[in-house]
């Protein structure tokens, strides 16, 4: 405590940039630990133990056990890792689609109008329905769900990039490049792409939580992944049958874990946005 009797806060002396870097570091560290830990868990190692079925949380089983005696902490951790991997693949693929459509739309006027129509078309169809149809069409599994989520989450980033590109195209240096005879492809590659890099990075990270939630929703409904895979959506779907018998831990801990992971990605995205675009820190 200081002379005035107030509690000393060591974070008070840190500037905004340091606090932002600290928040990014902590969130990314937790996410990396979750993913790496899940990679060391083999699905075949999550064995059944009928002598320990439906046990509540304890020091031996932090999240309790399920109706087959499987450790819920291990299943939840493996499911989170799978969700993060699917979310990572889907968000990166979505960003590639968004960047490609936005840049080519800036080169060709008619293609740009087609992209605008395509965005409106995809936004008019419920994401869950599209993900289910695409994943079934691709044979299901992690690949089908990843592609399904990716093909339904590029629209928002595309809109942001198209608006940013239209603003850049009105700038003086773009007009000068056109007067010097530079091609539209040159302008897109040298002038536009470097200026939208921040939006691409932040947009990719912010797609993560949406992708993870939609993946969990689809698997909760029973589509995409095999029932034997320890995905969070599958775990929550199976636990619904046992809530009436008082086994609350089967849904509470996996649901909270999923919520924490989604919030961590959201926090990381917002702080990275502040770091790359300082003007957004005061918004």
Place of tokens 């990381």: 268
Digit-coded pLDDT (tens) for 129-182: 888 888 888 877 888 888 888 888 898 889 989 888 888 888 887 888 888 877
Residue 10 pLDDT > 60 = no
Cβ-based burial of 60 (10 A; exposed 0-12, middle 13-18, buried ≥19): exposed
What is the per-residue pLDDT for 96? Answer: 93
Which residue, chain included where needed, has tokens 């990270």? 205
Instruction: Please write the tens of the pLDDT for every residue from 42-71.
Output: 766 677 777 778 888 888 888 888 888 888
How does DSSP classify residue 189?
I
Q: What percent of the chain has pLDDT over 70?
A: 91
| Per-residue pLDDT at 9 exceeds 80 | no
1: pLDDT strictly greater than 50:
no
What is the dihedral sign for C-alpha 102, 158, 264, 10? Answer: positive
Cβ neighbours of 233 (radius 10 Å): 28
pLDDT category of residue 94 using cuts at 50, 70 and 90: very high
Q: For the chain, what percentages of helix, strand and coil (3-state, to nearest 5) are there? A: 75, 0, 25
For residue 97, pLDDT beyond 90: yes
> What average pLDDT does this structure show over 251-264?
87
Q: What is the pLDDT of residue 93?
A: 93
Residue 282 above 60 pLDDT?
no
State mean pLDDT over 25-31.
83
* pLDDT for res 45: 65
Q: In this predicted structure, which of 8-22, 32-46, 62-76, 233-247 has the lowest mean pLDDT?
A: 8-22
Confidence of residue 95 (pLDDT cuts 50, 70, 90): very high
Q: For 69, phi and psi rounded to 5 degrees?
A: 80, 10
Q: What value does the mean pLDDT of the chain take?
A: 81
Residue 19 confidence (pLDDT) above 80:
no
pLDDT digits (tens, 9 = 90+) for 188-220: 888 888 888 888 888 888 888 888 888 888 888
Say how far apart CA 233 and CA 146 lie, in whole Å: 14
Residue 216: closest CA among 90, 50, 106: 90
- Pull the structure tokens for residue 15: 């500037």
- Predicted pLDDT at 98: 92
Q: Which residues pair with 71 in a beta bridge?
A: 65
C-alpha 158: how far from its chain's center? 16
Q: Percentage of the chain surpassing pLDDT 90?
A: 5
Q: What is the mean pLDDT of residues 97-123?
A: 88
pLDDT score of 8: 47
Calculate the dihedral angle through the C-alpha atoms of 275, 172, 177, 103, rounding to the nearest 10 degrees: 50
Cβ–Cβ contacts within 10 Å for residue 112, how many? 18
DSSP per position, 62-118:
TT-B-TT--BHHHHHHHHHHHHHHHHHHHHHHHHHHHHHHHHHHHH-HHHHHHHHHH
Length of the chain: 283
The mean per-residue pLDDT over the stretch 236-240 comes to: 85
Torsion over CA: 265, 267, 270, 275 (sign): negative
For 17-41, what is the mean pLDDT? 81
């Amino acid at each position: 405590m200081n002379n005035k009797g107030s509690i000393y806060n060591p974070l008070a002396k840190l500037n905004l940039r340091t606090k932002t870097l600290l928040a990014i570091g902590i969130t990314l560290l937790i996410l990396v630990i979750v993913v790496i830990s899940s990679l060391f868990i083999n699905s075949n190692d999550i064995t059944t133990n009928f002598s320990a079925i439906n046990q509540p949380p304890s020091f031996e089983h932090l999240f309790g056990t399920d109706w087959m005696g499987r450790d819920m902490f291990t299943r939840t951790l493996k499911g989170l890792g799978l969700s993060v991997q699917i979310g990572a693949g889907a968000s990166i693929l979505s960003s590639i689609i968004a960047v490609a459509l936005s840049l080519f739309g800036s080169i060709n006027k008619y293609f740009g109008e087609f992209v605008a129509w395509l965005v409106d078309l995809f936004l008019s169809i419920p994401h869950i329905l599209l993900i289910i149809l695409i994943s079934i069409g691709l044979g299901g599994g992690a690949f089908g769900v990843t592609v399904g989520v990716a093909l339904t989450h590029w629209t928002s980033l595309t809109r942001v990039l198209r608006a940013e590109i239209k603003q850049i195209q009105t700038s003086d240096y773009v007009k000068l490049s056109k007067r010097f005879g530079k091609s539209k492809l040159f302008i897109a590659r040298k002038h536009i792409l470097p200026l939208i890099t921040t939006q691409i990075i932040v947009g990719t990270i912010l797609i993560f939580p949406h992708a993870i939630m939609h993946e969990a929703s689809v698997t909760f409904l029973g589509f995409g992944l095999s029932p034997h895979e320890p995905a969070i959506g599958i775990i929550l779907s199976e636990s619904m049958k046992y809530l009436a018998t008082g086994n609350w831990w089967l849904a509470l801990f996996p649901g909270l874990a999923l919520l924490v992971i989604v919030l961590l990605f959201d926090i990381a995205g917002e702080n990275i946005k502040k770091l790359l675009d300082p003007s957004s820190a005061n918004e």
